[in-house]
Structure 1
Amino acid sequence: MATRDQFRPDVEQRHIMAASNSRRDVQSKLWVPMIVIVVVVLQIASTTGLLVFLNMSVAQVTENIISKHAVPEPSAQPRTKPVSSAGHQKPSAHLTLRDSSLQGPISLAPQKDLHQSCRHPVRSWGNQSFGSHLHNMTLSHGRLRIPRSGRYYLYAQVYFRYPSLTHEGGNHHGGTSSYQLVQCVYKKTSYAKPLQLLKGVGTKCWSPDTEYALHSVYQGGLFELRAGDEIFVSVSSPTAVHAEDSSSYFGAFRFDP
């Protein structure tokens, strides 16, 4: 018959095994949340790193785009326009008759190789008035010289101002005074005789009690010109031409690029 002392080792061994199993269960239960926490931390870290990388990439791309399209600061831009030279600026000119004394009087002697209705070249054009200019072209004795071959737009306006017969000291019989006003634009080439490009005509009748008889003739056109051609204006009545920069002018500019 077994005694109580014989059963004691078995009971103690069972208690030890039970305690050991319990510890293993506790440890196994603790590993699961730890693994989950580690996975979550790694996921957060990887997501954060990806966002930082994307933000840096976007910032770099934005900076490159802005630097390519940014307008230079005013201090970096040239304050003055570079001096133009042939080939960099289209030839152009706008000349006026603001003061005819600057380049000599209008010629009163007719030029015989011109059309009989406008044989008096206007020689007193200048570029000293406000708004007038002379770029990459030369002016000599009222003639504009073409520097480069191409298409040019030519224009001219002459302001005629006749004093009435009363102011001239003449006699009149209550009738009207009639004047023929002609303006022409010519091209002088290597040929001896100038070629007429434009012609404007106006026949005006004014009452003798009119203080001044006023009229202007304007014309313009596009022409194919060669380097070395010279352009000038002639009129029918040189003494009636009124020198004023906003009323009597002559110009040209190259139309080709």
Structure 2
Amino acid sequence: MATPNSLQQQQDYFRSVSSESTTYMMVPATAAAANTRRDAAPSKVWVAMVVIVVVVLQIASTTGLFVYLNMSISQVRSQGVTEELKCLSLLNALDKDQDIPEDLAQLFGEPCIKLAEGIKAYISKVRLTPYSLNKARTLPRTFNTSGSKFATSVPQRPSAHLTLRDSSAQGSPSYPTPQPDLHQSCRHAVRSWANQSFGAHLHNMTLANGRLRVPQDGRYYLYSQVYFRYPSLNEGDQHTASHQLVQCVYKKTSYLRPIQLLKGVGTKCWAPDAEYALHSVYQGGLFELRAGDELFVSVSSPSMVHAEDSSSYFGAFRLDL
């Protein structure tokens, strides 16, 4: 009777026709799996070795290319510095007003010649700029008899600085007629401006009837100061010890009514025992003006305006903005 172990052995292999032969006709399953693992292990090792070799070659080639590029850049830089030094030595050997000979131009090459010519042009420009500025500053100026006007060959911007003269000494009415088209607080236009005093001038602008005419479009800075001098008060006029002083700057255009640009107001309470009460109103501003505009100043109390060159003045000048 066959035992279980003998039956298991009979299932693992087949016998040949001869019942006496004990040779296996089929390898057992456990032995086949062991052989498969032994065959797969060498193939994995070869794949890993190939990958490592490829990575090493990639790193080596990248490193070599980087080193080669650095060496090439260094060589080009050193060669460029050498060429520039040669060009500078060539430029130093030549006089500042001497042209470069053709044989030297062919010897050194076109880039070197361009560099030398550029350096020469820059040196000439640097030397010429201070000379031009110094020459412009030392241009002769012609003064008129009053010393208020001067002219040079350099174009001048429109500008004016006018001072107030005593209208009573010129035979003009001391108190001008108020203009109804002006603001109620300053209806008396000041017309006694002049450019005959020391420091006053009138450049590329015209003055007529106290109005300053703008010759060019642009941005102008306008300024004005009026010096008010109030006489001493009588004992019966104590209620008038306070007075309002107003100064305005107007622009007359093609419109019917003048346009008010600036307005300054000062209210002062003066001591009744003072011989004179003094006060000045100053104002200034930047405005966009057109050619043909007329500028003028008006005040509230023309009888109090004091004509003095350094105290009452009116001016304008154009800014290149």
Mapped pair 1:197 → 2:261: yes
The alignment partner of 2:303 has SS state of helix
The alignment partner of 2:298 has SS state of strand
Amino acid at match of 2:155: H
Tell me, yes or no, if the aligned pair for 1:103 and 1:124 is still in contact at 8 Å.
no
Q: Report the CA distance shift for 1:127/1:102 in structure 2 as closer, same or farther (over 3 A).
A: farther
Q: 1:165 maps to what in 2?
A: 233
| Higher RCO (C-alpha 8 Å, min separation 6) | 1
Q: 2:127 maps to what in 1?
A: 69
Give the drift of 1:164: 1.3
d(CA) in 2 for partners of 1:112, 1:122? 15
Q: Report the CA distance shift for 1:235/1:55 in structure 2 as closer, same or farther (over 3 A).
A: same
Amino acid at match of 2:220: Y
Tell me, yes or no, if the aligned pair for 1:104 and 1:123 is still in contact at 8 Å.
no
Give the drift of 1:165: 1.1
Q: Deviations over 1:55-98 (max 9, x none)?
A: 99547249986897274898xx643369458x921100000014
Tell me, yes or no, if the aligned pair for 2:249 and 2:295 is still in contact at 8 Å.
yes
Q: 2:140 maps to what in 1?
A: 79
d(CA) in 1 for partners of 2:296, 2:93? 64
Q: Report the CA distance shift for 1:117/1:136 in structure 2 as closer, same or farther (over 3 A).
A: same
Mapped pair 1:114 → 2:196: no
Q: 2:248 maps to what in 1?
A: 184
1:145-164 correspondence runs (5 A): 145-164=213-232
Give the drift of 1:109: 1.3
In structure 1, which of residues 215, 234, 255 is the aligned counterpart of residue 279 of structure 2? 215
Q: Which runs of 5+ in 1 are unaligned?
A: 1-53
1:129-148 correspondence runs (5 A): 129-148=197-216
Give the drift of 1:102: 4.7
1:91-102 correspondence runs (5 A): 91-100=158-167, 101-102=169-170
d(CA) in 1 for partners of 2:249, 2:125? 53
Q: 1:41 maps to what in 2?
A: none
Q: Which moved more, 1:239-248 or 1:93-102?
A: 93-102
Amino acid at match of 1:190: S
TM-score by length of 2: 0.55
Give the drift of 1:229: 0.5
Amino acid at match of 1:136: N
d(CA) in 1 for partners of 2:124, 2:293? 50
Give the drift of 1:152: 0.5
Amino acid at match of 2:160: A
Report the number of matched residues: 197
d(CA) in 1 for partners of 2:91, 2:263? 72
Q: Which runs of 5+ in 2 are unaligned?
A: 1-88, 99-119, 143-149
d(CA) in 1 for partners of 2:194, 2:171? 7
d(CA) in 2 for partners of 1:195, 1:98? 25
Mapped pair 1:247 → 2:311: yes
Q: Report the CA distance shift for 1:99/1:179 in structure 2 as closer, same or farther (over 3 A).
A: same
The alignment partner of 1:239 has SS state of helix
Task: Kindly indicate which of the two structures has a greater share of residues assigned to strand.
Answer: 1
Q: Deviations over 1:205-235 (max 9, x none)?
A: 1111111010000000000111100000000
Q: Report the CA distance shift for 1:111/1:60 in structure 2 as closer, same or farther (over 3 A).
A: same
Q: Report the CA distance shift for 1:182/1:122 in structure 2 as closer, same or farther (over 3 A).
A: same
Q: 2:15 maps to what in 1?
A: none
Tell me, yes or no, if the aligned pair for 1:111 and 1:120 is still in contact at 8 Å.
yes
The alignment partner of 1:227 has SS state of coil
Give the drift of 1:202: 0.6
Q: 1:25 maps to what in 2?
A: none
1:32-47 correspondence runs (5 A): none
Q: 2:95 maps to what in 1?
A: 60
The CA RMSD measured in Å over matched residues stands at: 3.0
